[in-house]
Amino acid sequence: MTRWIPAAAAAALTLALPPLLSSSHLTIYILLGLAAIVTIGLSLLMGYAGQVSLGQAAFYAIGGYTAGLLSVHSLPPVLGLLAAPVVSAAFAVVVGVPMLRLRGHHLAFATLATQLILLSLVGQADWAGGAIGLQGIPRLSVGGYEFAEDISYAYLVWAAVALTMLVARNVVASRPGRALRALATSETAAAASGVPVGRYRLTVFALSAAFAGLAGGIYAFYLGYIAPGSFPVLLSIEYVVMAVVGGLGTLWGALVGATAIVLLVQVLNTVGTQPGMPSYAPSVLSYAVYAVLLVLVVLFLPHGIVPALRVRMSRVRG
């Protein structure tokens, strides 16, 4: 029973928060939820398939463009939202079949390359709005209900976070999930005990892409505008920072990591935009924070915040 308490508390908190937030804080809350969805997927991928993806924002972009393009061409927006994760996952399967032969830094560069190619192609595609981007994406509506206000997006996003957590948790807890954990420890040993290594790695890759695609779809409806510049390489690196800082291969770690980074960068942003601060201060501060946190955590807290806290808690109890 006790293990459900944190989940229930988190759920209650997320439900209670939106009406209490000011509009600028609500925006941060929504963006935080989106980042959390992507990070949960990336944390699964890095924690279980053991691979750094430096192109996760590519799947986010695909989700955004899928949702945006479908609804701009006057299809029902809800269809676009449903298609976003599906198309992202399908793309992941197509590029994953040749690419997942690669390991380690090779795969890191391959995912980076995938994102750069995608961004460049989208930037030259007139049907996708080219470098200017896709404008006039309608607000999301389901049946007769239109998601007109920010607060409705806040609930939508956090419902999506809950769904993502649930799917990820069930995957991890299932029999294939145990196989994945074996895979994360030793690929050779897992293969020797009959785990279909290649298929599972591809599945996790597609699942993490589907999560990112879902977040991208919501993002497109929320902002109503997307462009290649909305999905820079640095965004992919941000997701890596969030996943690593929170703790790889732990779902709560992804949530904690995303929350910690988004809030911290937001605080620094507020500091950086104070009167008297130079105009470059916000970007310098956020680059520095990503960098310093990533380096310090990798060197001194190699498993991330959440696993480190767990170890400490069990020591206190035991």
Partner 1 sequence: MSELLQYLITGLGGGCAFALVGSGLVVIHRVTRVVNFAQGSFAVIAAMTASTLLASGLPHGVSETLAVAVGAGAGLLVGLVAIGKPGTPPGASLIVTLGLGVFAYAVEVLIWGDQPRSFGGVPGAVDVLGARFQAHYLLIIGATLAVFAGMGVLFARTDVGRALTACSANPYAAKVVGIDVRRMGLLSFVIGGALGGLAGVLVTPIQLVTFDYDVTLIVGGFAAAILGGLMRPALTLIGGLLLGVAQALVAGYGNAAYQMEVALVLMLAVMIGQAARRPIVQEEVA
301 binds partner 1 (CB under 8 A): no
- CA torsion angle for 247, 250, 252, 258 (degrees, to 10)? 40
Phi/psi at 160 (nearest 5 deg)?
-65, -40
Helices (H), the chain: 5-16, 23-44, 56-72, 77-99, 104-124, 150-173, 175-185, 187-192, 197-223, 233-246, 251-272, 281-300, 305-317
Cβ nearer to partner 1, comparing 160 with 183: 183
* Binding range to partner 1, per CB under 8 A, among 157-165, 186-194, 219-227, 310-318: 186-194
112 binds partner 1 (CB under 8 A): yes
Q: Is 299 in the site for partner 1 (CB under 8 A)?
A: yes
How many chain residues interact with partner 1 (CB under 8 A)?
44
**8 A C-beta contact, residue 55 and residue 179:** no
- Angle at CA of residue 304, ends 187 and 104, nearest 5°: 35
Question: Which of 37, 69, 72, 110 touches partner 1 (CB under 8 A)?
Answer: 110
Contact with partner 1 (CB under 8 A): which of 117, 142, 263, 267? 117
Q: How far apart are CA 306 and CA 284, in angstroms?
A: 27
Output 13 or 267, the one with its CB closest to partner 1. Answer: 267
What's the closest the beta carbon of residue 113 comes to partner 1, in angstroms? Answer: 4
Q: Binding residue for partner 1 (CB under 8 A) from 241, 261, 305, 306?
A: 241
180 binds partner 1 (CB under 8 A): no
- For residues 58 and 182, what is the distance between their CA atoms, to the nearest angstrom? 28
The residues of the shown chain that bind partner 1, judged by CB under 8 A, are 52, 54, 98-99, 101-106, 108-110, 112-113, 116-117, 120-121, 124, 186-188, 233-234, 237, 240-241, 244, 280, 283-285, 287-288, 290-295, 298-299, 302
